[in-house]
């Protein structure tokens, strides 16, 4: 019996060692997107102002065509409404990619617009190359360490972006937005989780959890929006847009 017990103890110790080794090889479940200090938005900082701004492509008599809207501080806004109501147009207006047909649209902080195509990523350049072109203040060693925290290893960060998966490309785009020479203080996310698997969606949620700037997201994925902990909603209706705090 003593020999049996000794054998059992040895077998258990061997199993424990294998579990410990396997755990050490598992990548972290929650990637970390550490923003540079310049991404912060103070509570009193005005983020954007829309004054009688008329959205392009909407009919003049559409109640939702003209907006008076402004935000201050590190707000997190869920932009909601059916397809075709103007959510993408509104985000592009705030990003400065479109001009209002009338009125004024001014974004007072640095912004980054990320749509589901991630058009700002150059498919022919690696993440490291693109961040170099964006004058990142991070030394290459620190940059690679931060990318590793996003589960982007050395092989992924040195190959052209076209070879990355959808989730990897989205994390790369976020890194480029927040680790460039002048980091974005306002993230404008337009259906960012389309074509992503559940694991990638959860990874992006974790990466955005501690973003210290302002964020506006349009997404049909209610769970993803809820995970970003919105402070406000901007909701379309036939009577126009309505901006409310989340209670």
pTM value?
A: 0.84
Note down the domain range covering 162: 30-245
Q: Are 166 and 195 in contact (CB under 8 A)?
A: yes
69 has which bridge partners? Answer: 50
Residue 166 lies in a domain: yes
Q: Are 233 and 246 in contact (CB under 8 A)?
A: yes
Residues 116-136 as b or e (16 or more Cβ within 10 Å = b)? bebeebeeebbbbebbeebeb
pLDDT of 56 reads 87
pLDDT of 120 reads 87
pLDDT of 8 reads 65
pLDDT of 60 reads 72
pLDDT of 22 reads 44
Residue 19 lies in a domain: no
Nearest C-alpha neighbor of 178 from the set 207, 156, 216: 207
Nearest C-alpha neighbor of 187 from the set 32, 43, 35, 31: 35
Rounded distance between C-alpha atoms, residue 189 and residue 78, angstroms: 10
Regions of the chain with pLDDT less than 50: 15, 19, 22-28
Rounded distance between C-alpha atoms, residue 149 and residue 167, angstroms: 14
Q: Are 58 and 64 in contact (CB under 8 A)?
A: yes
φ, ψ of residue 59 to 5 degrees: the values are -60, 145
Rounded distance between C-alpha atoms, residue 118 and residue 167, angstroms: 11
Query: Which CATH number goes with the domain that contains 240?
Result: 3.40.50.300
Residue 150's contacts (CB-CB under 8 Å, 6 or more residues apart) are: 31, 32, 33, 171, 175, 203, 207
Instruction: Domain count for the chain, please give it.
Output: 1
pLDDT of 116 reads 81
Residue 14 lies in a domain: no
Which DSSP symbol is given to 39? G
Tokens of 105: 């649209």
Q: How do beta strands 186-190 and 214-218 pair?
A: parallel
Q: Are 191 and 219 in contact (CB under 8 A)?
A: yes
| Long-range pairs, 66-69, Cβ under 8 A, ≥24 | 66/102, 66/103, 66/240, 67/241, 69/234, 69/241, 69/243
Tokens of 224: 């993803």
Q: Are 104 and 54 in contact (CB under 8 A)?
A: no
Residue 16 lies in a domain: no
Residue 120 lies in a domain: yes
Residue 20 lies in a domain: no
pLDDT of 46 reads 96
Residue 13 lies in a domain: no
């Amino acid at each position: 019996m003593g020999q049996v017990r000794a054998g059992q103890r040895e077998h258990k110790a061997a199993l424990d060692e294998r579990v410990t080794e396997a755990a050490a090889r598992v990548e972290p479940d929650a990637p970390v997107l550490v923003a540079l200090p310049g991404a912060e938005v103070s509570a009193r900082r005005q983020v954007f102002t829309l004054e009688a701004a008329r959205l392009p492509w909407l009919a003049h008599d559409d109640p939702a065509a003209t907006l008076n809207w402004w935000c201050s501080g590190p707000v997190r806004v869920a932009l909601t409404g059916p397809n075709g109501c103007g959510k993408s147009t509104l985000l592009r207006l705030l990003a400065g990619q479109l001009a209002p047909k009338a009125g004024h649209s001014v974004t007072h902080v640095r912004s980054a617009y990320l749509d589901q195509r991630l058009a700002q990523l150059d498919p022919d350049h690696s993440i490291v190359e693109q961040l170099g072109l964006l004058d990142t203040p991070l030394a290459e060693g620190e940059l690679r360490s931060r990318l590793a925290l996003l589960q982007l290893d050395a092989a992924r960060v040195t190959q052209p972006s076209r070879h990355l998966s959808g989730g990897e490309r989205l994390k790369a785009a976020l890194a480029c937005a927040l680790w460039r020479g002048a980091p974005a203080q306002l993230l404008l996310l337009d259906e960012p989780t389309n074509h992503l698997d559940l694991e990638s969606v959860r990874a992006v949620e974790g990466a955005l959890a501690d973003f210290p700037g302002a964020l506006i997201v349009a997404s049909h994925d209610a769970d993803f929006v809820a995970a970003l902990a919105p402070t406000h909603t901007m909701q379309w209706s036939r009577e126009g847009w309505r901006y409310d705090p989340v209670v």
